Amino acid sequence: MKSSKFRYKNVFLYASLQFCGNIEEYFAKNTQKLVVFIVQPRIKNRGNLLRVYKEGSIIEQKEIELSENILLYYFLWYVSYIKFIFKYFTRGDKAVVITSHPISFFGMGIQRLLRNVRFVFWIEYFPRANLTLRLFDDLKNFYHKRVNFAGYFGDRVNKLMNGKVVNTKKRRTILWGVKPRILRVGIPQGPPTMLFVGVIKESQGLDLIFPFLKENKAYKLNIIGVCNDRLYKKYKKLLALYRITNQVDFPNKFIPSRELEAISKKCFVGVAPYLTGSMHGTYYIDPGKIKEYAELGLPIIISNTSSIVPYVKKFNAGEVIKRDVGSLRIAIEKIKKDYDIYLGGLKRFNDYFYYEDYYARNFSFLEDF
Mean pLDDT across the chain, nearest whole number?
93
**pLDDT surpasses 80 at 305:** yes
Average pLDDT over residues 153-179: 95
pLDDT digits (tens, 9 = 90+) for 242-269: 999 999 999 998 888 889 999 999 999 9
Count CB-CB contacts under 10 A for residue 86.
13
Burial degree of 4 (CB within 10 A; 0-12, 13-18, 19+): exposed
Buried b or exposed e, range 137-155, using 16+ CB within 10 angstroms: beebeebbeebbbbbbbbb
Confidence check: pLDDT of 16 > 80: no
Please determine, for residue 17, whether its predicted confidence score (pLDDT) is greater than 60. no
Q: How would DSSP label each residue in 122-138? A: EE------SHHHHHHHH
Given this model, what pLDDT does residue 185 score? 87
Provide the pLDDT confidence category of residue 334 given band limits of 50, 70 and 90: very high
Q: What is the pLDDT of residue 320?
A: 98
Q: According to the model, what pLDDT value does residue 47 have? A: 84
- The string of pLDDT tens digits covering residues 312-327 is 999 999 999 999 999 9
Is the pLDDT score of 27 beyond 60? yes
Average the pLDDT over 26-55 and give the result.
Answer: 91
Q: Side-chain half-sphere of 285: how many Cα atoms within 13 Å?
A: 21
Cβ–Cβ < 8 Å for 83, 68? no
| CATH class of the domain at 193-352 | alpha beta
- What pLDDT is stored for residue 45 in this prediction? 81
pLDDT value at residue 127: 87
- How large a percentage of the chain has pLDDT more than 90? 81
**pLDDT at res. 261:** 94
- Quote the pLDDT of residue 126: 85
279 pLDDT more than 60: yes
Measured in residues, the chain has a length of: 369
Nearest Cα to Cα of residue 151 among 304, 5, 307: 307
Measured in whole angstroms, the distance separating CA 4 from the mean position of its chain's CA atoms is 30
Per-residue pLDDT tens for 167-180?
999 999 999 999 99
Confidence (pLDDT) at 269: 98
pLDDT band at 199 (very low <50, low <70, confident <90, very high): confident
Q: Is the dihedral of CA 274, 254, 72, 115 positive or negative?
A: negative
User: 8-177+355-368 sits in which CATH class?
Assistant: alpha beta
Edge-to-edge, what's the strand order for the sheet holding 171-173?
Answer: 57-63, 49-54, 31-38, 8-15, 94-99, 116-123, 149-152, 171-173
- pLDDT higher than threshold 90 for residue 97: yes
Average pLDDT, integer, range 77-103:
95
C-alpha distance from residue 342 to each of 20, 180, 294, 345 (Å): 24, 15, 11, 5
The pLDDT score that the predictor gives to residue 4 is: 67
What does the pLDDT average to over 12-23?
75
pLDDT band for 360, please (50, 70, 90 cuts). Answer: very high
What mean pLDDT comes out for the span 34-38? 95
Mean pLDDT within 186-201: 93
The answer to whether the beta carbons of residues 98 and 13 sit under 8 Å apart is yes
The answer to whether the CB of 115 falls within 8 A of the CB of 94 is no
Residue 147 DSSP code: S
pLDDT of residue 146: 94
Q: What is the mean pLDDT of residues 43-52?
A: 87
Residue range 64-81: mean pLDDT, rounded: 93
Q: Residue ranges per domain, the chain?
A: 8-177+355-368, 193-352
Number of H helices, E strands in the chain: 13, 14
Helix H segments across the chain? 23-30, 70-88, 108-114, 131-144, 155-162, 209-215, 229-242, 257-264, 288-295, 309-315, 325-337, 339-352, 355-362
Q: Do domains 8-177+355-368 and 193-352 have the same CATH topology?
A: yes
What pLDDT is stored for residue 128 in this prediction? 87
State the Cα–Cα distance between residues 273 and 287, nearest whole angstrom: 12
Sheet hosting strand 300-303, strand order edge to edge: 248-249, 220-224, 193-197, 269-272, 300-303, 318-321
Nearest to 102, CA basis, from 153, 59, 72, 136:
136
